[in-house]
Structure 1
Amino acid sequence: MNVRRLISTAAVAGATALGLVSLSACSGTSSAGGDKGGGKLDVVASFYPMQYLAEQIGGDHVEVTTLTKPGVEPHDLELKPRQASELRGADYILYLKGVQPAVDEAIAQSGVEHTVDAATLTTMESHGTEVGHDHGHEGDEHGGEHEGGHEGGEHGAEGGADPHVWLDPVKYAEVAKGVGDSMAKADPDRAADYRKNTETLVGKLKALDAKFAAGLRNGTTKTFITTHSAFGYLAERYGLEQHGIAGIDPESEPSPARIKELQSVAKREKVSTIFFETLASDRTAKTLAKDTGLRTDVLDPLEGITDRSEGDDYLSVMESNLAALQKALGAK
């Protein structure tokens, strides 16, 4: 079984002299401490959606640290040198290539054997500021039963691909299956438990998918406007149309022409609400809402959980997102 790597006495002495702290202390997440014989798989996750998968699938057999502190916008993350260095001590790394360039670079240099890029576990697509296809509820079923390594990056969230797969419960379940398989390979003695936990999580995601499908089936409009174009997969899954004020990058500024276009969309499609998110500025959303006489509400892209989140984990925040969409779209 792969457990946290033993550090030589000399290295420990050197780290103590330099006053280095553990990666988990930097991230605000507890680690397995100094108990190197505790038997837990040492997992490093890049940001919350990956952390949630690792915790749910790993259960009591893993110790999970995250590189992105609560409240930090993941796209903006810059790793400290000691974080990049200590990343090499992980048994298993789970990330989504293309979301955090600094993390991608550090992971590529880490040399950790069990390194999984979640983008290789499902099919990635390109989404712009406007996404909407009436595909209904039937989505493709992808295998996702292979371990992604550094070499799988060409299939990752690069070259314009939208990385926000976790906002589609079906795609997130595909990723979960791949993570379960790869974790079983990394820690074969507990493979049965990882597979059982994966089945449980996939069941919860299927139930969430059913709630979204039923809850968004009927409405007075299928169109929603949001500051961050993070909901392309979700819109495609449930036959909605997303219009983003900004693009995939939540900090990009819209042009005056784009604002004018959105004002026309809002009027034509009977849009009632401009959505913003918790980890980025709401200034543009509130300005557009004021100019168009619309209200604002939160649609959380779930890139991190804070005390401002409408829930304390992935499932509860997604259910809050469903309620917000139902209200905005006039769905029952």
Structure 2
Amino acid sequence: MKKLALGLAVLALLAAACDGGDEPGPEQLVVASFYPLAWVAEAIAGDAAEVVDLTPSGVEPHDLELAPSQVGMIEDADLVLYMGEGFQPAVEDVIDPESGSALDVLVGMALMEGDPHVWLDPTRLADAVDEILAALAKPYPDESASFEERAADLQDRLTRLDRTFEEGLADCARREIVTSHSAFGYLADRYDLEQIAISGLSPEAEPSPGRIAEVIDLARERGVTTIFFETLVSPDVAETIADEIGVTTGVLEPIETQPDEGDYVDAMERNLTALRSALGCR
């Protein structure tokens, strides 16, 4: 009898361990291809769904390779959020854009020469909030009201961030920023800056000697004081140029993966601090 009671107790414990309670299961799964989309989805969804970010910290999103388990998550998800235009080929290769459960956030956006880095302009990310809100409401219609409330709060944060950038970059001695690759075009366009990129849209692209010489000449001519490189990208070329013209290097965060500290807004505020210092803003 004691053995039977013990066995029943063990079964009860196992059942309790297997019971997720209110925790979201596979039927409440949203997959985001990289951090900015995951950040928006989590902010809107709250506890209504589990949001999985496919790109781990320290991995360049362009280079992401999917594990079989991640492919399975994409297939099982109620909603998959991604950016097309070849930004993450591994993700695009396994997504059926006609499935109705996948949202390419770039569709309908006016892009600058195929540049996918729209999230570095807070107003463009705010546009994506509206798209993601509408997409989340389809599989979870009962949560629409709470989704709308949280999306409004997120829009307020992004509006305040945009205002902070406008005010912080309004009165600067210089408007040129030298960056390791062309990731900050939308940010520059929004706040009336000029991006001088050492290399193109791909962070892996090596600049030619001619391009390096051209950037050195431009930096000298414009009185640039800082050569920016990015997290996840080697600083070698930026340091070479900085040494050649006798200036410093600085870091701008492309915010493609979870920041080491804080969230998207915190990382953008750190970028603003770096820009204000480099541009001599008052």
1:325 paired to 2:278? no
| Partner SS state of residue 131, structure 2 | helix
Does the CA-based 8 Å contact 2:133-2:147 persist in structure 1?
Answer: yes
Q: Distance in 2 between matches of 1:37 and 1:305?
A: 26
Aligned to 1:102: 90
Q: Distance in 2 between matches of 1:116 and 1:51?
A: 13
* Counterpart pick for 1:45 among 27, 32, 41: 32
Does the CA-based 8 Å contact 1:90-1:112 persist in structure 2?
Answer: no
Aligned to 1:79: 66
The Cα shift of 1:112 comes to 5.2
| Partner SS state of residue 179, structure 1 | helix
* Counterpart pick for 1:170 among 77, 98, 123: 123
* Counterpart pick for 1:257 among 194, 205, 210: 210
Deviation string, structure 1 residues 180-205 (Cα, Å, up to 9, x no partner) = 11111221101111111111111110
Segment of structure 1 superposing worse, 218-227 or 83-92: 83-92
Q: Distance in 2 between matches of 1:66 and 1:171?
A: 20
* Counterpart pick for 1:237 among 190, 195, 199: 190
Deviation string, structure 1 residues 64-111 (Cα, Å, up to 9, x no partner) = 1111111101111111233213321111111111210011111228x8
Aligned to 1:70: 57
Mapping of 1:220-235 within 5 angstroms? 220-235=173-188
Q: Distance in 2 between matches of 1:121 and 1:190?
A: 26
Does the CA-based 8 Å contact 2:180-2:197 persist in structure 1?
Answer: yes
The Cα shift of 1:123 comes to 2.3
The Cα shift of 1:177 comes to 1.0
1:271 paired to 2:221? no
| Partner SS state of residue 47, structure 2 | helix
Q: Distance in 1 between matches of 2:242 and 2:211?
A: 14
| Identity percentage of aligned residues | 44
| Partner SS state of residue 298, structure 1 | strand
Q: Distance in 1 between matches of 2:87 and 2:112?
A: 14
- From the superposition, tell whether residues 112 and 89 of structure 1 become closer, same or farther in structure 2 (CA, over 3 Å): farther
CA-based RMSD: 1.8
Deviation string, structure 1 residues 45-66 (Cα, Å, up to 9, x no partner) = 1011111011111112121111
Count of aligned residue pairs for this structure pair? 262
The Cα shift of 1:264 comes to 1.1
- From the superposition, tell whether residues 112 and 39 of structure 1 become closer, same or farther in structure 2 (CA, over 3 Å): farther
- From the superposition, tell whether residues 219 and 89 of structure 1 become closer, same or farther in structure 2 (CA, over 3 Å): same
Runs of 4+ residues over 4 Å off in structure 1: 36-40
In structure 2, give the amino acid aligned to 1:225. V
Does the CA-based 8 Å contact 2:259-2:267 persist in structure 1?
Answer: no
Deviation string, structure 1 residues 238-297 (Cα, Å, up to 9, x no partner) = 110001111110111111111111111111111100001111111111111111111001
In structure 2, give the amino acid aligned to 1:207. R
Q: Distance in 1 between matches of 2:181 and 2:71?
A: 29
Does the CA-based 8 Å contact 1:45-1:65 persist in structure 2?
Answer: yes
1:214 paired to 2:167? yes
Report the TM-score when normalising by structure 2. 0.88
Does the CA-based 8 Å contact 2:96-2:102 persist in structure 1?
Answer: no
Q: Distance in 2 between matches of 1:122 and 1:172?
A: 11
Report the TM-score when normalising by structure 1. 0.75
Aligned to 2:3: none
| Partner SS state of residue 234, structure 2 | coil
Q: 5+ residue gaps in structure 2?
A: 1-17
Of structures 1 and 2, the larger Rg is shown by 2
1:116 paired to 2:103? yes
| Partner SS state of residue 95, structure 2 | helix
Does the CA-based 8 Å contact 1:227-1:276 persist in structure 2?
Answer: yes
Q: Distance in 1 between matches of 2:67 and 2:21?
A: 24
Segment of structure 1 superposing worse, 113-122 or 314-323: 113-122
- Larger % of helix: which? 2
Q: Distance in 2 between matches of 1:306 and 1:169?
A: 16
Q: 5+ residue gaps in structure 1?
A: 1-32, 127-160
- From the superposition, tell whether residues 265 and 296 of structure 1 become closer, same or farther in structure 2 (CA, over 3 Å): same
